[in-house]
Amino acid sequence: MILIDGKKVAKEVKEEIAQETTEIIKKNGRAPHLAAILVGHDGGSESYVNFKMKDCQEVGFQSSLIRFEDDVTEKELFAAIDKLNNDDGVDGFIVQLPLPKHIDENKVLEAIKPEKDVDGFHPVNVGKMTAGLASFVSATPMGITILLKRYGIETSGKHCVILGRSNIVGRPMSILMSQREMNSTVTVLHSGSQNIKEICISADILIVAMGKPGFVTEDMVKDGAVIIDVGTTRIKSDKTKSGFKLVGDVDFDNVAEKCSYITPVPGGVGPMTRLALLLNTLQAAK
């Protein structure tokens, strides 16, 4: 079994981005610039955005954080989006999700100019990606395809089973894996699916994005399968300084020995997800 080291690959790709950033600064006269809008004080969102800003610093990007309180109005938020859409000094920006209930998330995502939508969530980018056209691809699916390629994992003709159909992970992942470049035969399983165990056993590549800790057990995995675990559920732990630990959707200890490759949680898909945002921003700056 080979452990897929997302941290190591992310470090390598980050170094490549930093080198390219130096070239872009020479050519454009300024560094690529990523902005983030953060609403409220959710601990998870705050730490994600802080990591994104830190990543920018490490590769030589400029970054800006625009913060609003939970009671921000849609009008105020749209004004901030409009400003970033029209700011030539900003190459790309994101609005960190989730947003408070009184804000319509879809309306917000659609307000972002597609050319600056480095999250790849705008329907124009989703449509282009689906049609196989140049577009911003959302972070987790992009990170996973990079991991598969860097580890030289054969995807062509393989049966790839994806557990979960979210707009952020499962659905775009299923589209990328079915396109000519990855060339897999794809099955998407979701909460309405039957015979989940039987179908999972037939997977050469199993990508799990459900948010259900330990859902995939040993009896659901074929010998030699490739397992990509996207699950990141924060659970309380008295063994860590923070009082929390991240757990995946795969029962790692029992499944790992059966696999040819497996991603750990943390340290597998997570570091790659952050990287994809940098790659999209680099593309936007170009």
Residues with a known catalytic role: 52, 96, 119
- The answer to whether 119 and 136 are in contact (CB under 8 A) is yes
Q: Minimal distance in Å, beta carbon 99 to ligand GUN? A: 9
- Other beta carbons less than 10 A from residue 117's beta carbon: 27
Q: Minimal distance in Å, beta carbon 257 to ligand GUN? A: 31
Closest CA to 188 of 153, 172, 262: 172
Which SS3 state, helix, strand or coil, does residue 105 take? helix
What is the sign of the dihedral through the CA atoms of 226, 118, 63 and 22? positive
- The answer to whether 277 and 94 are in contact (CB under 8 A) is yes
Closest CA to 188 of 202, 168, 173, 204: 173
Helix axes 170-178, 139-150, angle to 10 degrees: 40
Measured from the CB atom, the residue of 84 and 94 that comes closer to ligand GUN is 94
Q: Minimal distance in Å, beta carbon 104 to ligand GUN? A: 15
Measured from the CB atom, the residue of 14 and 159 that comes closer to ligand GUN is 14
Q: Minimal distance in Å, beta carbon 183 to ligand GUN? A: 26
Q: Minimal distance in Å, beta carbon 151 to ligand GUN? A: 23
Phi/psi of residue 212, nearest 5 degrees = -120, 100
Q: Tokens at residue 256, please?
A: 């790992």
Closest-by-Cβ residue to ligand GUN is 97
Measured from the CB atom, the residue of 141 and 220 that comes closer to ligand GUN is 141
Residues that bind ligand GUN (CB under 6 A): 94-97, 119, 139
Q: Minimal distance in Å, beta carbon 108 to ligand GUN? A: 10
For the purposes of burial, counting CB atoms within 10 Å of the CB of 106, is it exposed (0-12), middle (13-18) or buried (19 or more)?
A: exposed
How far lies 149's CA from each of 2, 8, 19, 153, in Å? 14, 14, 21, 6
Give the strand pairing for 233-236 and 244-247. antiparallel
Measured from the CB atom, the residue of 32 and 120 that comes closer to ligand GUN is 120
Measured from the CB atom, the residue of 184 and 273 that comes closer to ligand GUN is 273
Measured from the CB atom, the residue of 25 and 97 that comes closer to ligand GUN is 97
Half-sphere exposure for 262 (CA within 13 Å, toward CB) = 25
Closest CA to 146 of 12, 24, 283: 12
